[in-house]
Amino acid sequence: MTDAVDLGVTLGTQRLRNPIMTAAGTAGYGVEFSNVIDLSVLGAHVVKSLAIFAHAGNPRPRLAPLPGGMLNAVGLPGPGVQGWLREYYPPLLRSGANFGVSIWGRTIDEYVEALEVLLAGAPEVAFVELNISCPNTEAGDRLFAHDAKATTAIVRRCRRVCTQDLFVKLSPNTEHVVEVATAAIEAGASGLVAINTVFGQWLRGGEPVLGTRRGGGLSGSQIHGIALRIVADLRAHFPDIPIVGVGGISTVDTVISMLAVGADAVQIGTANFVDPRRPQLLVEELAARLRSIGSDSLREYLMDLRNS
């Protein structure tokens, strides 16, 4: 039971019932996991990245389990925004879940068009996450999130058509994370999501394990320390900007660590591939942890933790 503990957090204009969210790309387009998890008990569910066009993604194999994590080069396959509106949006809306949608494209115009179609067809979307940092597309390492000017241009255009909270997902694969984040905020972003996967490669028998052969995005517990450092740096530079922390979060201790360094909410990603129930279980485990130390308020507990 979580009712006796106030896990509520503020994220932009949203008041979330708790800080636990799914990470885009790890829990489907809608309610695919409804047989094992109740999305409505989470702070939010983030829909897998959608483009204005349907996309097949990268050649298989796309996923490779590694010690302490996973390497993926899925390549953002999906039904496109219009396909999502037809097939996935109605049951997701009926589920009672608070949800955001991740958007991607190859050009700024494609991002803007996807946003326009999405928000016209699904006004109930609570927030939008701009995925400008996926390492597994044909762009390779030439990402919007690696260049402050490119980030300014895309966020400014998207902000003009988006009245919802607009979060920008940052890449850890650049030394300019804070510079890019500053550009995003100054261009109109509501907040930041940190981090996306880390560039990686893995071989078996001397051969790359993924179909792209050029590697993919490393995720899981191996990158948790990287994510913590980046979120802490962002919080130091942006005391009042909403920040969502993501990267290697699978236990209540890693949730608390991410919140302690300054994240307002967290996203659960790779852990969903191991156990799709993990986000809901973390809500329960976080409440149990607070009860065990005699606290009935996450906000008060974090204030004490950050000031200690």
Digit-coded pLDDT (tens) for 185-212: 999 999 999 999 999 999 999 999 999 9
Q: Is pLDDT of 49 > 80?
A: yes
**Per-residue confidence (pLDDT) for residue 2, from 0 to 100:** 73
Q: What are 69's two structure tokens?
A: 């994590």
Cβ atoms within 10 Å, residue 300: 12
Domain ranges of the chain: 9-307
Q: Categorize the per-residue pLDDT at 24 as very low, low, confident or very high, splitting at 50, 70 and 90.
A: very high
In this prediction, residue 150 carries a pLDDT of 94
Q: Provide the residue type at 191 as one letter.
A: G
Closest CA to 167 of 265, 302, 274, 35: 265
Instruction: With beta carbons less than 8 A apart as the criterion, state whether 158 and 115 touch.
Output: yes
* Residue 131 clears pLDDT 90, i.e. is over it: yes
Six-digit token string for 276: 């799709």
What are the tens digits of pLDDT across the range 84-106? 999 999 999 999 999 999 999 99
Q: Please say whether the beta carbons of 188 and 166 come within 8 A.
A: yes
Q: What is the CA radius of gyration of the chain?
A: 18
CB atoms within 10 A of CB 133: 26
- Position 1 confidence tier, pLDDT thresholds 50, 70, 90: low
Which residue has better confidence, 136 or 155?
155
Which residues pair with residue 9 across a beta bridge?
16
Distance (Å, whole) CA 244 – CA 246: 7
> Which active-site residues does the annotation give?
134
Which CATH code is given to the segment(s) 9-307? 3.20.20.70
Q: How many CA atoms lie within 13 A of 7 on its CB side?
A: 28
What's the gap between Cα 181 and its chain centre? 15
**Nearest CA-CA partner of 23 in 257, 269, 204, 285:** 269
User: What's the rounded mean pLDDT across residues 119-139?
Assistant: 90
| C-alpha torsion 115→159→263→241, nearest 10 | -170
